[in-house]
Amino acid sequence: MTGIDHAVLVLRLAAPLQSWGGPSRYNWRETRPQPTKSGILGLLAAAEGRDREASLTDLLGLQLGVRVDQPGTLLRDYHTYSDYRGVPLLSAKTNAKGQQTRTTPPKHTGVTQRFYLQDAVFVAALRGPEPLVRSLDEAVRNPVFPLSLGRRSCPPTGPISLGLRAEAPLEDVLTGVPWQASAHRRQQARDTTVSLEATIEDPAGDQLAVDVPDTYDLKTGTRFGRRAVRHRWVTVPTGRSQPPGPAADTGTTAHPDHDPFALLGW
């Protein structure tokens, strides 16, 4: 990669559960159908060991592309919480000293609803200055803090980094990465290729994503900026040499001597 001004870091984002919440807050925590820029930059910042108050200026300029290799399914977690001491929960109100007050009338149990993606697999490509993406690749392979996919309760399955690629349009990079779906999903494929949805950051894009963070500082909270994106479909090989032909109709059952009622004495 010596002498190349820019390069592309490719990540595989797979886990039993992922959650890319964006601006949702309080007791209703949604997930986007694809990884957000805020979530991915947070993962990279954690890998490097940055504090929450650290500047994100160098990371914000990374151009992001995401490919949906396995969309997964939506899970809702109905979650209750309470104070183990049996005292009323804190309210959103504060007293003159800036301290949170207890709920009035007393409320001992709270409810949150959190949403996750089950068994989803994504490929993320980040294009930026070669020294920066190379250092990020090294950080992801040897993270300072544990990595998670959107929330701390969502650790990744297997290694995240798929390595560096030479500078190229993100659409070309996403087309060139082998299909990363689970083995079970790949076995279900019947054609030699599969079409996968991709979202690519592009100043000329025709849609907006509101997921660019200004900080991860818990004291100030995160405000999300906008970025332009475009949606594409990319075609990648499934690994099959040829589509399976139609099954021959012999007019007989697969196991003509099998009698499912024999054990019942019928």
| pLDDT recorded at residue 2 | 46
Whether the Cβ atoms of residue 125 and residue 14 lie closer than 8 Å to each other: no
* Predicted confidence band of residue 252 (pLDDT cuts 50, 70, 90): low
State the Rg of the chain over Cα.
24
CATH of domain 6-74+117-243: 3.30.70.2660
pTM of the model: 0.82
**Model confidence pLDDT, tens digit, residues 98-157:** 788 888 888 888 888 889 999 999 999 999 999 999 999 999 999 999 999 999 999 999
What's the sign of the alpha-carbon dihedral 156, 157, 162, 167? negative
Q: List, in sequence order, the alpha helices (H) in the chain.
A: 37-48, 57-60, 130-141, 170-176, 183-188
Q: Which of 72-81, 199-208, 212-221, 246-255 has the lowest mean pLDDT?
A: 246-255
Domain boundaries, the chain: 6-74+117-243
Q: Which residue has the higher pLDDT, 255 or 68?
A: 68
Whether the Cβ atoms of residue 172 and residue 67 lie closer than 8 Å to each other: no
* Predicted confidence band of residue 88 (pLDDT cuts 50, 70, 90): confident
